[in-house]
Chain A
Amino acid sequence: MHDETPYLGRWAGLALLLPMALLLAAFFVYPLAQTIWQSVYEHGFTARAYENLATSTLFFKVLQTTFVISLTATLVSLLAGYPVALHLSRLEPSRRVPYLVMVMLPFWTSILVKSFALTVILGYDGVINRALSFVFGEPIHIPMVFNRVGAILGMINYLLPFMILSILGSLLAQDANLARAAEVMGASRFTIFRRITLPLSMPGVLAGVLINFTLSIGMYITPALLGGRQDMMMANLIDFYTRQTLDWPLASAIAVVLLVISGVLVAMLGRVRGAGGMTEMAR
């Protein structure tokens, strides 16, 4: 039973909330408003920045790159993450902990550390190329980093924990009796997976895909450090216009486009998972 009476008066509540509200107003709301304002105001209201974007081949190329890389990274992390979620869901809860530590390790590692490590592993004379050279007895230098493959691999490494935990949630929520009933009635393991486990895990899959795609389109570090010249994404373009060409309105306009796209994705996620979807992932 929940008590209805508030324990704090109006003023006490306000006093406790005010400091945080002020910080968020000054360092969250104001910068966002400033960005939107800067995109439409240069000595008077103007749509100049958006007109420039609409006619910019560079912008559309970057937009396309962003979507292609994000979609690929999301789909590969779904394919690589689903077996892990399935594996975790079949373990006894007490035996799950060490495996969860492995899944969460990249979540806790700095993205710079992971990017650096991937350049060492995938590089021209990296761990993989040297191992291949040793096995085949001739110098092998497969280009796997400072190109699109590198950017995507780096992103997948970052995205996988989110995908795995999202799918795991909907796998663990399933009623084990369903699978047991199907087994009694003679269904094979694969049939049980195809007809029961997989369809019932779709909400988790959908949420994972949305979370991964939302995180991907805003990525900055990974494409900058692991991608090539051709793999500039929206975040990198924002940085480019902010600090290289000093065209702040144009940088702001791109930021607004990014903000709108991720806003739509977050709203979709909210519908899939309920309002707490994103914050739940933070845990």
Chain B
Amino acid sequence: MNFLRTLPGALVVPLAAWITYLFLMVPSLIVIPISFGGAGELEFPPRVWTLDLYRQFFNDPTWWGSLMESLKVAALVTVLTTVLGVPAAYALQRTNLPGRAVLNGLAMGPLLVPVIVLALGLYLQLAPIGFLNRTATVVLAHTMLAIPFMMVSVGAALRHLDPAYEQVALIMGAGRVRIFFRVVLPQLRAGIAAGALFAFLISLDEVIVAYFITGPETMTLPVKMYSALRWEVSPVIAAVSTLLTVISLVFALGLMWLERRDRNA
């Protein structure tokens, strides 16, 4: 009797959960089989299995070029975010400068403001002085968007760091620069790596800001894809989607692996 009464409850939750799991997964994964279908029509499941769409992608310099541009931008953003973010996160924890809280809040700011507002602001700032359509501005804008993620990752790693190591090194006569590079940085490795992966992915997937401030020569892959989706849904998009999903997935799994290793360490 008791069993019968609890049965519906025991079934309802997993059933409802699985409907949502499917809705979460299917849109991200369905592009993979579609991308191996023919170039004629988008179909699931595909009637024929070919690599035609990938051939189209790699033979079209506008697609191929925008992928290269995106990878270049994302790589530069990753380096810049690390170079700017790591020392800043360290300084925020190891000094008591006035205005520290303000700067900390400011570094989180890009996360709290709707991206469309930032995109408009950057457009209004760059358009009158002729700075649209440049790789450098896209890199700097994406770095701004990625900074909060680096600050959170490195900040968390710093909080777990025992200041005693630095004290010991200081007592034993190491200089501050040496302490930073030999004592602090090695212990922050996982946090920095996580922040860098975030930065790369954010830049690689970012559409709105790039759509506002890039031009024909600096178009990133998401911008090219967005225009293609709006004006002519060509089957090549399935191949592009699969490439993007695979890249994201590799990086996301890398992040999860880092986090697990972190927790076990």
A residues whose Cβ falls under 8 Å from a Cβ of B = 2-3, 6-10, 12-14, 16-17, 19-21, 23-24, 26-32, 34-35, 38, 80-81, 83-84, 86-88, 90, 99, 101-106, 108-121, 127, 156-157, 160-161, 188-190, 193, 217-218, 220-221, 224-225, 234-235, 238-239, 242, 248, 251-252, 255, 258-259, 262-263, 266, 278-279, 282-283
Q: Is B110 interfacial (CB-CB < 8 Å)? A: yes
Contact (Cβ within 8 A) A255 B117:
yes
Docked pose: A156 CA to B20 CA in angstroms: 10
Contact (Cβ within 8 A) B207 A221:
yes
Among A24, A156, A217, max chain B CB count under 10 A is at A24
Contact (Cβ within 8 A) B241 A112:
yes
Contact residues of B: prevailing secondary structure: helix
List residues of chain A with CB within 8 A of the CB of B85.
20
- Which of A14, A16, A116, A157 is B241 in contact with, Cβ under 8 Å? A116
Contact (Cβ within 8 A) A115 B205:
no
Q: Is B23 interfacial (CB-CB < 8 Å)? A: yes
Contact (Cβ within 8 A) B26 A121:
yes
Q: B8-48 vs A: 1/0 string, CB under 8 Å?
A: 01101110110111011111111100100000001010000
Contact residues of A: prevailing secondary structure: helix
Contact (Cβ within 8 A) B87 A279:
no
- Which of A113, A161, A248, A279 is B124 in contact with, Cβ under 8 Å? A248
Contact (Cβ within 8 A) B31 A116:
yes
- Which of B31, B84, B96, B164 is A19 in contact with, Cβ under 8 Å? B84
Docked pose: A89 CA to B172 CA in angstroms: 48
Interface range for B: 35 or more
Contact (Cβ within 8 A) A84 B20:
yes
With A110-B241, A112-B207: A255-B121 Cβ-Cβ less than 8 Å: yes
Docked pose: A190 CA to B16 CA in angstroms: 16
Contact (Cβ within 8 A) B121 A35:
yes
Q: Which residue of A lies closest to B206 (CB)?
A: A110
Q: Which residue of B lies closest to A265 (CB)?
A: B112
4 smallest CB-CB distances across A and B, nearest first, come from: A31-B121, A218-B114, A13-B95, A83-B16
With A10-B95, A10-B97, A110-B222: A157-B114 Cβ-Cβ less than 8 Å: no
Contact (Cβ within 8 A) B5 A27:
no
Contact (Cβ within 8 A) B245 A110:
yes
Q: Is B176 interfacial (CB-CB < 8 Å)? A: yes
